[in-house]
Amino acid sequence: MIMKKILSTLILIVVAISTIAQTTKPLVKPISKPKLVVGIVIDQMRYDYIYRFWDKYGNDGFKKLVNEGYFCKNTNYNYVPTYTAPGHASIYTGTTPAVHGIIANDWFNRVTGRTMYCAEDNNVNPLGTMAKEGKRSPVNMLTSTITDELHISTNMKSKVIGIALKDRSAILPAGHTANAAYWFDGSNGNFVTSTYYMTELPKWVQEFNKKELPKKYLTQSWNTILPIEQYTESLPDDNKYETISKGELKPTFPHDLEKLYPSNGGLGMIRGTPFGNTLTKDFAIEVIKQENMGKSGATDFLAISFSSPDYIGHYYGPNSIEQEDDYLRLDKELAELIKAIELQVGKGNALIFLTADHAAPEVPAYLMDLKIPAGYVKEDKMIDSLKKYLTITYGDSLVLSYSNQQVFLNHKVLEAKKLYIEEVQEDVAAFIQKFADVSEVITATTMNTSQFTEGTRYLMQKGYNAKRSGDVLVNYLPGYVEYMSTGTTHGSPYSYDTHVPLLFYGWNVKQGSSTEQIVIPDIAATLAMMLNIQFPNGCTGKPISSLVK
C-alpha cells in the first residue's frame, strides 16, 4: 500500500514537472542593435594626423574616439587610384572599383565617347538649385552598400541619409535606397538634392538654407585658433609650397575671407576653409534633430563626410599651418557632433566609425628641396609623344583618352586596320615604360588573364574594372605626381596615399587598438556582422575579428 502511494506521488510530480515544462516558455534575450549608426569620413586624412596634432586636440573629439573606442592602426586602401569617389564607394560597398565600378571621380566612357562623372544622372532633376550639379544619383555604382543592406533587412523601416559638401561623398555612402542625400551647391550656398530621392526639398532644409550660413562664415577672417607660434608641427606660415589665393600677396594668415571669396569661387570658397567643416557639422546636427534619427524603431544610419580637409590639403599641402589649424578646428566640430549624437539616442546607443577616403603625399617640391626623390610628371608631353609614335607606326594616333593614368585606345580604328588589340597594348606599354617618371605599365589583357596577389600590380588590378577601365594602366614612381608645383594631390598605390585612420566607438565597442592588417572593404563586412545583416552584394572584405568576437 505504501509503495502504491509513493508511486502515485512520483507520477503526479512527473506530470506536474512535464506540465510546467510545456507551459513555461524559456526567456529569450532579444538581439541587441544600436539605435543609430554614424559613419564619418574625412576627406584627405593621413594616419599620422592623429598623433602629429595629439597634444593640441581637446579631450572630446579625436582623443575621445581613440581613448574610449577601438583604433585599427594598420588600415589601408587595397586598390588604386585613391580618389574621393572610389574611396567612399569602397568604404560602404565593402569591395573595390573592380567590382563596384566607381573607378575614379570621373572617367572616359567608351559608349558615349566623353568623360562621365561618377554620380551624374541626366534622368533626375535638381532640387534646391538650378545648376546641373544637382542632376546626381548613385545610378553608376554597380553594387549594394551596407546602408542598402540595412534598409532591406528592416523592410525599409530604417532611415538612411548621407550628407557632405561634395555630392559624390553624400550620394555613394547613402546607397541606392537612401531616404535622402544632401550636398552643397557653391553657386547659391544651399544644401541641395535631386528628384532621385524626393519630389521637393523638405521644409526644414529650406529653412536651414535661409539662414545663409556660408555667407555668414565667409564674412570674417580665417586666423589661427591658437597663437601662430605654437604651430610647431608645420612649416613656417610663409613658404613656397603653398598656393596663393587671388587677392593675396602671400599664402599667410590671416586670410580675409570676406575680401577673398567673391573672386575665389564665391560661396563655394567655404569648401577650402575650416568653416566648411563647421557648416557640415551644423547641417548634420540639424538632420539628426529634424529627421529624428535613431528614433525610427529600427537602426538608422547617417553617413557624414567632411570635405574641407581635401580642398585645404590640395591648396596648401599637409605641412601647412592651414591644414594643422583645420584639423584642430575639426576636432572641436567632432566633439560637438558626438555630443549631439549621444544626446539624441543616449550614450552607448550609437555606433560611430571614422575613417578617410584617402591620405596624401608630401608636396613633391618640398621633398626635392630635402634631396628626397620626388618630382612632377608631364603627362601631356608623354601622351603627345605616344600619339606621334603611334601615328608613325600605325598611321593613326589610336588614343581616345588618357585619364586616371589609363590609356584608352580607339577599338574601332584598331578593328578597321585589322590590328590586334593585345599587340598594340603591349607596344603602348613598352613605349610608356621608357619614361623616367614611370614605375610600371600593365595592359588590360594582362589584367584580364593574370592574378596578382601582392605589390602595386595587385592594387592596380583591384582598381581595374574590365568594362570601364582603359587599355593600358600606368603607375608613377613614389613621390611623383601630375600636379601643380604648390599644394598636393593623391591617387597612388603608395602608403602615403593608402594609409588612413580607422576608429570604432560606442555601441558594443570595447576600448583597444590593433596593428592587424585591415583593408578598407573590411569596414562594411564588420558593420554587417555587428548588425547581423547581409553583406553588401559585391562585398570582398572580411569582418575585423577583434570587433566581432
Non-local CB neighbours of 91 within 8 Å, separated by 6+ positions = 39, 41, 173, 355, 357, 520, 523, 524
Residue 403: Cβ-neighbour burial (10 angstroms; 0-12, 13-18, 19+)? middle
User: Among 181, 11, 71, 51, which Cα is nearest to 509's?
Assistant: 71
Q: Rounded to 5 degrees, what are φ and ψ at 411?
A: -65, -30
Q: Are strands 36-42 and 160-164 parallel, antiparallel or unpaired?
A: unpaired
Give the Cα separation of 447 and 465 in Å (integer): 9
User: Among 219, 229, 202, which Cα is nearest to 255's?
Assistant: 219
C-alpha cell at 394: 600605325
Of 9, 24, 75, 84, the active-site residue reads 84
User: 84 catalytic, yes or no?
Assistant: yes
Strand, coil or helix: 183: strand
User: Among 40, 33, 535, which Cα is nearest to 281's?
Assistant: 40
Its sign, for the CA torsion 94, 95, 97, 100, is: negative
Amino acid at 220: Q
Phi-psi region of 535 (alpha: psi -120 to 50; beta: other; left: phi over 0): beta
Catalytic annotation, residues: 84
